[in-house]
Amino acid sequence: MSYSMVIDLKRCVGCSGCVTNCKASNGTSPEMARSWVDRSLEGKYPDARRSIVPKLCNQCDNPPCILVCPVEDTTFKDDSGVVLIDKELCIGCQSCISACPYGARKYRADAMGYFGSELTQYEEVAYQNMPENTVDKCDFCMGRTPEGQVPEPACVRSCVAGARFFGTTEEMKGFIDSSGRDSYRLLENMQTEPNVIYLSDFVNTV
Amino acid sequence: MGEEKRGISRRSFITGALGTAAVMSTMGGGLIGCTLENKEEDLTSISTGTWIPTTCNMCFNNCAILVRVVDGVAMEIKGNPNSTVGGGRLCAKGASGLMQLYDPYRITKPLIRTNPEKGIGIDPGWEEITWEEAMGLYIGKLAAYSAEDQRYVAGSSMVSNLGTIYARAALNAAMGGMPETAISDICGSGTHGNQELLTATGNASPDYAYCNYVIQFGIQAGTATRHGFNMTAKMFADRRAEGCKLVNFDPHMSAAGDKADEWVPLVPGTDAVVALAMANVLANEVEIYDRDFLTNRSNGPSLVDTETGRVIRDKDTQKALYWDEDTSSAQPYDKATTPALEGSFEVDGKACKTAWTLNREHLETYTPEYAEKISTVPAASIRRIAREFGEAACIGQTIEIEGYTLPYRPVAVDSFSGVSRHKHSWLSNWACLQLNTIVGSCNAVGGYIGFGPKCNGYSDTSPIKWAPGVWEEDGLINYTSLISPASGPESMYEAVRSGISVPETKDMLSLMPFGMDYHFYYINQKDPATFNNLCVKSKMLIAYGCNPLKWWGDFEDQEQLLKDYEYVIGSDLYLTDASYYFDLFIPEATYLERYDVFEHMFLAHRHLGGIDSKWNFLIRQPVVEARDGCLGNWEFCCEAAWMAGPESNAGFATVLNYVHLIMEHNPLPTDQKITPEMVLDAGYKTYIDAEHDLEWFKENGSYIYPRKADEVYIWADGSEGRVPVYMDIMFEAKEKVGAIVEENKIPWELDDYQPLPDWKPCPDYEITDSDYTIMPIYWTNQSNVDTWSVYNAYLNELNESDPYGYAIEINSATAAEKDIKDGDAISLTNIVGKSVSGIAMTSEAVHPQCVSVIGGHWNSQSEFIPTGKGKGTGIVDLVYGSLNPIRYDHLCNAFDQCVRVKLEKI
């Protein structure tokens, strides 16, 4: 059994709710975004069209980040298909950051908080999982889910547009099939086999 | 990989001792999640601690939330799925509440100025005082000024915390006066009023659940902003995914433009000319209009004297006459069995036409080609979109809901700030929204519906009910107040009939029966002689939860006004720019540390319309202890009233009893100190029933009651009511207002008092200097809408990660003409020489005649909020003339924010 996430780009409004909900729930420190939103513009005025693609770790079936890690067992794929990091073992070499084609890994260089070196009450607790000189990434919120429970990623739970769907890979495949929509994964030609799938945006006409 | 490894990975750095106190929160509230007894607890785990229900206040939507509290520390916020106010979802701002709660730059102790010199950058010399001293000063100053003249006191606030209005109003009243409103907000004054006339309540939206075609003018509802964004986004997203087309007219491709199936850029302030051209296409070119609706649910059949423009009325009842085709005679509207919608007739020797016929003729001047010349929107696009809209309206079709056979018109035009914040705001909004009238989508399934136009009660026994009612002379619907049904249905028609009078308050609203905002206050406050000294200047200002320096016009104008008061009390979370002009600063606990009273009361601002939007009562309660024992505003007012003595306290309680409609059922005692908890308890019991008291809400957080079809679709039960195609009442208003201004020698504009909508240019359109060709506009994305954006660490980080977050966005072609490249410093200078500067970022997403920024009021200079200092460009500073009547809408108090500027590379 493995988990996958589907993001419907027609529904997504690019609000960055996934970004701050992930930050608050997972307690990530400044500049450490496990979830982020890429925005681009295609075409010329007045016929330009916006492309909004929320991103996170793709929990690849063939994750290049694991291959390059020099310390055995530091980053690994667990039996639910989620790529995890053992921060006790991580030496902060950032090889995995270079290897990840999705920019999903971030390096925590210091122990600073949002208001400087003195952490707030919240940060003192939240950043216990954000030691300096380690790498961090999305874990589908597995890290804060009790053993035996199905994770409920904060980005999915909070999504104001209901654009995110989460479940087993089989469930998500079924969901995509039943939607009748076009779907794709990022950088499929790199054969990383991502487990984040996008339902393509489209234009409604009458 | 085995369980052991997973365990290490998760928790090796996130263990900690968790005492009993962490498990058993004492802050009240039910146990939503589960708690673990393990001493080596994962403190970031979703299952650790207690989930406490309360409501967000990171914007005015006040969504229902659950906060996970561990050992007295709030660790996580999520939406409360047991609520229709947010539906279990949480936006970017909502999640950022933790950064506000634990922000070290928040002020938590009352401060008093020691340096009399006021001004940005001049240290006020704040010194801490006790809460008792602060209350003493507050009530002492309030009582002293009110005793001289209650108009000497002014109050300024924002919409974000409507519930506290009642606490402050009650305290003010108890101390002898009601402050004049010097609201710093700039709202949708021209929109709300038109929505009241069309949907019987001051907030309306497409009926998203059924809508197939949405046209937005100057609004981003459902994708980024407007009342209920977090409630709207999913239902609109669902419909868009199911095929609903979104057409967004906006000079900038904002969040709505991003998601629109068709983004249509246009020149700022020209939405109305496009809408009128579309109306012309529908009414005259393709003749797609809902004859049945216009005949039976609008005043389109009203017979109008072509010489005077007045509706012809029955001499005895004053009811509008319709041409009855059955009897070939003019009959009162409620007697005509087969009214003629169109045609020319003769009544008592007077030539007349129906109102709808006159409107069709009026619209003929608005050809798409004319609109293109003004707006730059291609005429072909106007024609195509108008036709699409009309054809998608399914005119003639019905749908069954809850046993009612209802008109099915799955199209809606929506408008708000972008149309409203201009001169001629009333007429422009009317022009846009009348498209709903033309195709019969007002109050129809899938059409344009009010948020809370009618209520049959919040429970089987609830005494709270309201319904629109009707203005008998024309059969037109009245409406319920935006905030409270306490005074029954309100009526602009009645306001014209009996409410127009010589202004005594600086907002001049007694001359504006269609008005809602208060911006004329500022002109009178600066110089009462402008309006013949009918009003008196205020000497004291109470600014609650707002930044009156920065919000809506030239900062220097506002600075002069703030300096002009003898005494200014500010209450806020932070020492903003405006605080440099405060004499006394009263901090407030954050929304996660305090009780507030009925932020969702009577629902109009917080609940969407629609059959799935159930009635919902919530609670705002503290989830953690307030830092330094800081008080909430409600608690402050209650304590201050008690301090003021028995008589004042009794007056305070009496006002609360009245405004909360609890006098009859669960009145507050007048001889005890009031607490917000007492008001909540009395209100819950009154509005719902005895079972649902404060204790129930503290534990459960959310009460839901189904909304029936006849509460959503106001004519489902066959109730009488029409919407205006033709505003005959404008003539009466013009005559009455004209007589008063002439008698009192008040300079006043009467041109917009007209029976049909028009497009009229903003004042700066008259500027012909070829150097001043650019119009700066501001917009809000989802993480910066409403309040507390750049001050918040998460939100500031979002803005800093966005190349356009703090930049000035400029069309690529316009930039190329001036050799401006990404990252260049540029300046914008208006016609009176005011200049702002910023960093340019080029884009294909903004009209060539515009530059665009997020926010518009940024570039905070307060040393007390380092997070936001110097971020962004405050283009609102360029909006000159905030003290000049020529830039105001004299119908509804709107202020024109459209200016032309000179763009230069620095």
Domain presence at residue B237: yes
Domain presence at residue A178: yes
- Over residues B214-232, the mean pLDDT reads 92
Contacts of A49 in chain B (CB under 8 A): 263
Picking from A85, A152, A160, the nearest residue to B230 by CB comes out as A160
User: What CATH number does the domain containing B74 carry?
Assistant: 2.20.25.90
Q: Which residues pair with B853 in a beta bridge?
A: B778
- Over residues B803-822, the mean pLDDT reads 97
DSSP-H helix ranges across B440-598? 492-498, 520-526, 555-564
Domain presence at residue B233: yes
For residue B822, give the nearest of B802, B847, B800, B842 by alpha carbon: B842
Domain presence at residue B884: yes
Number of domain units in chain B: 3
Residues B199 and B81 in one domain: no
Start-to-end Cα distance in chain B: 60
Cβ-based neighbours of B542, under 8 Å, separated by 6 or more: B142, B153, B154, B155, B156, B168, B179, B568, B569, B571
Does the pLDDT of residue B87 top 60, yes or no? yes
pLDDT for A142: 93
Predicted confidence band at B519 (pLDDT cuts at 50, 70, 90)?
confident
Domain presence at residue B372: yes
Picking from B95, B782, B794, the nearest residue to A13 by CB comes out as B782
* Pair of tokens at residue B645: 């003595």
Does the pLDDT of residue B417 top 60, yes or no? yes
Domain presence at residue B512: no
- Closest chain A CA to residue B627: A121
Q: Do B44 and A142 touch (CB under 8 A)?
A: no
% of chain B exceeding 70 in pLDDT: 94
Domain presence at residue B702: no
**Phi, psi angles (nearest 5°) of residue B165:** -55, -40
User: What CATH number does the domain containing B244 carry?
Assistant: 3.40.228.10
In whole angstroms, give the CA distance from residue A141 to residue A24.
Answer: 12
Q: Do B490 and B479 touch, CB atoms closer than 8 A?
A: yes
Predicted confidence band at B606 (pLDDT cuts at 50, 70, 90)?
low
pLDDT for B667: 97
% of chain B exceeding 90 in pLDDT: 81
Domain that holds residue A7: 3-199
Start-to-end Cα distance in chain A: 42
Name residues 101-120 of chain B within 8 A of A (Cβ): 101-105
pLDDT for B6: 35
Q: Do B753 and B882 touch, CB atoms closer than 8 A?
A: no
Contacts of A203 in chain B (CB under 8 A): 261-262
Domain-terminating residue out of B90, B119, B145: B90
Of B10-24, B518-532, B620-634, B697-711, the range with the lowest mean pLDDT is B10-24
Residues B726 and B814 in one domain: no
pLDDT per position as a tens digit, B354-394: 999 999 999 999 999 999 999 999 999 999 999 999 999 99
User: What CATH number does the domain containing A33 carry?
Assistant: 3.30.70.20
Contacts of B802 in chain A (CB under 8 A): 39
Domain presence at residue B778: yes
| Distance in Å, alpha carbon of A93 to nearest chain B alpha carbon | 18
Residues B891 and B813 in one domain: yes
Residues B326 and B376 in one domain: yes
Number of domain units in chain A: 1
* Pair of tokens at residue B263: 């983004």
- Over residues B677-694, the mean pLDDT reads 96
Does the pLDDT of residue B827 top 60, yes or no? yes
Residues B291 and B431 in one domain: yes
Domain-terminating residue out of B61, B90, B119: B90
Cβ-based neighbours of B597, under 8 Å, separated by 6 or more: B163, B164, B166, B167, B634, B660, B676, B679, B680, B683
Domain that holds residue B392: 189-452+722-732
Q: Do A143 and B9 touch (CB under 8 A)?
A: yes
| Distance in Å, alpha carbon of B142 to nearest chain A alpha carbon | 37
pLDDT per position as a tens digit, B552-600: 789 999 999 999 999 999 999 999 999 999 999 999 999 999 999 988 7
In whole angstroms, give the CA distance from residue B23 to residue B17.
Answer: 11
pLDDT per position as a tens digit, B143-185: 999 999 989 999 988 876 777 888 998 999 998 877 888 876 6
Cβ-based neighbours of B326, under 8 Å, separated by 6 or more: B336, B337, B338
In whole angstroms, give the CA distance from residue B343 to residue B809.
Answer: 51
| Distance in Å, alpha carbon of A18 to nearest chain B alpha carbon | 7
Residues B236 and B336 in one domain: yes
Does the pLDDT of residue B746 top 60, yes or no? yes
Residues B728 and B808 in one domain: no
The CA-based angle A29-B254-B551, given to 5 degrees, is 80
- Over residues B7-19, the mean pLDDT reads 34
Domain presence at residue A204: no
Name residues 227-256 of chain B within 8 A of A (Cβ): 229-230, 233-234, 236-238, 240-241, 243-246, 253, 255
- Over residues B883-898, the mean pLDDT reads 91
Residues B324 and B433 in one domain: yes
Domain-terminating residue out of B75, B90, B105: B90
Domain presence at residue A194: yes
Domain presence at residue B893: yes
Predicted confidence band at B30 (pLDDT cuts at 50, 70, 90)?
very low
pLDDT for B28: 31
Domain presence at residue A123: yes
Domain presence at residue A191: yes
Domain presence at residue A180: yes
- H/E/C letters for each residue in chain A? CCEEEEEECCCCCCCCHHHHHHHHHHCCCCCCCCCEEEEEEECCCCCCEEEEEEECCCCCCCCHHHHHCCCCCCEEECCCCCEEECCCCCCCCCHHHHHCCCCCCEEECCCCECCECCCCHHHHHHHHHCCCCEEECCCCCHHHCCCCCCCCCHHHHHCCCCCEEEEEHHHHHHHHHHHCCCEECCCHHHCCCCCEEEECCCCCCC
User: What CATH number does the domain containing B774 carry?
Assistant: 2.40.40.20
Picking from B10, B243, B793, the nearest residue to A115 by CB comes out as B793
Question: Could you say which residues of chain A have pLDDT below 70?
Answer: none
